[in-house]
Structure 1
Amino acid sequence: DRCWRAWDIQENPDAKGRPKCSRRECTYQMHITQDHGFCCTGCMHGQDHDTACERWPWEGEAPPLAPRASAEEARALEQFSVQDLKRLASWRQVDVAGCVEKADIIERLVR
């Protein structure tokens, strides 16, 4: 397995095998220069693809989902707003009812 980082993609933007967009139902590759892990910000927010979407088709099998998120992922989630975290929880079908604090939402997302 290859661990992809933003600079891997930026050094060779035409490389085949770019990682899949992080949105489960999306069929495009990650954006070359936007390092958020999605094909576009529209997809990141669970909306339609926006004008910045490159729409490069992703071919291959979907990577298996990790059974639990790592502490590294929890730290990465801290950069998002409460509203974005609630959208992510909704997309992952994680119940965050009653969560007010950002830390509570992150805790439920990484369980």
Structure 2
Amino acid sequence: MENQLTPNEENYPNSDQIQRALLYFLQALLTGDILRKTYPSLSSEKQTALAYIKKGFSYRETALRIKRNHTIITQWLKNDPKFKQALEEDERETQESHLVEAILEQLRFKE
């Protein structure tokens, strides 16, 4: 009787399978809520503003959407260090997701 715990090459994924699994994981990472953060120390209004900014809306467009004066975002950035930190974290996260997208494109191109 053959020992079933002994590894053999058939049990290991090949490079194509690894690449497909990595692609699947990265796509799930980008499309899921894995990257989405909430900031409990901020008001819901400020969290909503962060979400709009992360989607690509300008500060002025964001202020209009939350029904506030067009200067509110810059005021929050100057006067609320937690809001400023959250916005900087979101910007870093967005840059990282763009990097992941670029890697995905390169992987797709190799297929």
Q: Same fold (TM over 0.5)?
A: no
Higher relative contact order (CA 8 A, sep 6+): 2
In our comparison, the structure showing a higher alpha carbon Rg is: 2
Which structure shows the bigger proportion of residues in helix conformation? 2
